[in-house]
Amino acid sequence: MATLTPEEKFGIRYRNPGARSADQKYSLLVGIIAIVLGIIGFIQTGFTNYTEMTDHYILGLLQTNGFHNTVYILAGLMWLLGAFTLTPAGNQGLNIALAGVLLLLAVLGFLGYWGLLSISAGINGNNILHLILAITGLFIGGGLLSGGASE
């Protein structure tokens, strides 16, 4: 009796994913940074005052509380999952979608509409971070570094 390889038995071939695209590298980098920021934030704030404004700042720039820390970790996990599990084109879509959400957060944060979620109004570290991530996410997700849409 002949032994079949999984490739012969199921018709599944292993494909080398190749080099990471610019979008996947961006997702990997930003995902790691976001998770680290969330962990540092939880070290500073603990799990008290979860949605209340606190006087805790990550790196002296980003005002934080338990809610922010949770969002940093969840967004970081989304970026990491995109970097490792999505195709380059799917990862571009993820970056564009997250950039759109961050752009909305930045604009509404600058206008002062996120007080309920403890995002301070005006020009501050959180709103500037959201704006920077939105612009870079749209720039990279839009394919400007990869010369167009990925396959």
The per-residue pLDDT for range 57-89, each reduced to its tens digit, is: 888 888 888 888 999 999 999 999 999 888 888
Q: Where are the domains of the chain?
A: 19-141
Considering the entire predicted model, what is its pTM?
0.78
Averaged over 88-99, what is the pLDDT? 91
Would you state the pLDDT for residue 56? 81
| E-only strand ranges, 26-144 | 56-58, 62-64
Would you state the pLDDT for residue 13? 61
pLDDT band at 149 (very low <50, low <70, confident <90, very high): very low
Helix axes 22-45, 88-111, angle to 10 degrees: 50
Give me the numbers of helices (H) and strands (E) for the chain, helices first please: 5, 2
